[in-house]
Amino acid sequence: MTKNNKIISGVLVVAAIAGLIWYIYRDYKYVSNNSNNAGETENQNITGTGTTTVNIGGIEVGGDGNYTLEQVPIDEPQIQYPSLLRQVVIPESFGVEGKKIMQYKINTVTDALKNDPRQIRDWTTLAIYRKTINDHEGAKIIWEFLKTVDPSNTTHYASLGDLYGYYFKNISKAEENFLIAIEKGPSAVYVYYQTAMFYKDVMNDVTKARAIVDRGLKQMPGNEELKTLQRNLAQ
């Protein structure tokens, strides 16, 4: 491969990654934090005398004489974020320019997470980048973490199903995550498609592949993508 071809190849890989991220972001959301101090509520004391009714959080509390009602902080478990110091090794197949672009993108999202590690979108982006440079272990660590802090998001499970099935060859873990992904996102067409292809390509079980497509069509009877896959699996 010539130098120019390597450069073009690397740039095309990065462009493909950008498209993948855009597709996945439709299923993602930010972690919202409406408090200036995460995991704490502001101390608030309420005092009164005589016969008084006080409304606290929608609950009326009444009494005679002197009293003090104190709102105390609520401690939440400390979140253990994945390390942002993991080594970055970009394959030579990216070419010189492709490697520079990928390194810049990884550095950018890593810096953003150092500034605010609560952002689900940035962690997802980093996981995709890790997988793209063949750091499958690094991607797995992030997606396993995302399952714990964003458990309703189907894409975390589908991504792990793909990793476990195609890269780690852990069939049971792959199937487990794919099936949870379908439960979490029963209207996510791509999850049915990925799961069916996993059954067909990795497990060599066309019967299970057809069954999962049928399950998707019961949920979305008119979906052309699943209909096409159903016809292909029937051959």
**The domain that contains 93 carries what CATH number?**
1.25.40.10
Distance of CA 153 to the CA centre of its chain: 6
pLDDT of residue 78: 83
pLDDT of residue 8: 44
Greater confidence, 41 or 187?
187
Domain that holds residue 203: 3-32+88-234
Domain-ending residue, one of 49, 75, 101: 75
Q: Do 108 and 148 sit in the same domain of this protein?
A: yes
pLDDT of residue 17: 55
Cα distances (Å, whole numbers) of residue 90 to 72, 97, 112, 203 = 49, 12, 20, 30
**Confidence class of residue 2 from pLDDT cuts 50, 70 and 90?**
low
Asked if the structure places residue 48 within a domain, the reply is yes
Which of 35-44, 170-179, 221-230 has the lowest average pLDDT? 35-44
Q: Do 105 and 8 sit in the same domain of this protein?
A: yes
Residue 87 has pLDDT above 70, yes or no: yes
Q: Do 115 and 211 sit in the same domain of this protein?
A: yes
Mean pLDDT over all residues of the chain? 80
Q: Do 163 and 182 sit in the same domain of this protein?
A: yes
Residue 104 has pLDDT above 90, yes or no: yes
Report which DSSP code applies to 92: G
Asked if the structure places residue 83 within a domain, the reply is no
Q: What percent of the chain has pLDDT over 70?
A: 67
Angle of the 120-132 helix axis to the 3-25 helix axis, nearest 10: 150
> Which of 40-46's residues contact partners 24+ apart within 8 Å by CB, and which partners?
40/73, 40/74, 40/75, 41/71, 41/73, 41/74, 42/71, 43/70, 43/71, 43/72, 43/73, 44/70, 44/71, 45/69, 45/70, 45/71, 46/70, 46/71
